[in-house]
């Protein structure tokens, strides 16, 4: 179901990212070093920054990582937010590994 508002909902974004993950050509274009696949969708407007990824390990484990920051009272430090989201994204596999 598509969100009828002006902005994509998280489910809309997850759907778009998932469709990218299904395309062999997009998988080759977007292939990064740490992950066997990574898809990205982000968006912003004054006071709001949202980012989401679908990432896949070489072993076939997949994760969706999404986050948003919002503060209408001040200008966001977008570089800091991007760094934080990237840190979380690049450690999601470590954070979800079975204890042992």
Would the pLDDT of 3 be above 50?
no
Is 5 domain-assigned?
no
Is 1 domain-assigned?
no
Predicted TM-score of the model (pTM): 0.60
- Rounded to whole angstroms, the Cα distance separating 81 from 28 reads 27
More confidently predicted of 28 and 15: 15
Is 4 domain-assigned?
no
Mean pLDDT of 83-99: 79
- Rounded to whole angstroms, the Cα distance separating 15 from 34 reads 23
| Tens-place pLDDT, residues 24-76 | 777 666 665 678 888 888 988 888 899 999 888 888 888 898 989 888 888 88
Domain extent, residue 24, equals 10-95
What Rg, from alpha-carbon coordinates, does the chain have? 15
- The number of domains in the chain is 1
Is 100 domain-assigned?
no
């Amino acid at each position: 179901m598509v969100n009828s508002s002006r902005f994509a909902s998280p489910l809309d974004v997850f759907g778009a990212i998932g469709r990218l993950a299904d395309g062999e050509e997009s998988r080759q274009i977007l292939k990064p070093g740490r992950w066997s696949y990574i898809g990205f969708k982000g968006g912003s407007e004054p006071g709001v920054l949202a980012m989401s990824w679908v990432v896949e390990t070489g072993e076939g484990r997949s994760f969706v990582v999404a986050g948003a920051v919002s503060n209408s009272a001040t200008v966001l430090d977008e570089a800091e937010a991007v760094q934080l989201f990237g840190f979380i994204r690049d450690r999601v596999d470590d954070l979800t590994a079975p204890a042992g």
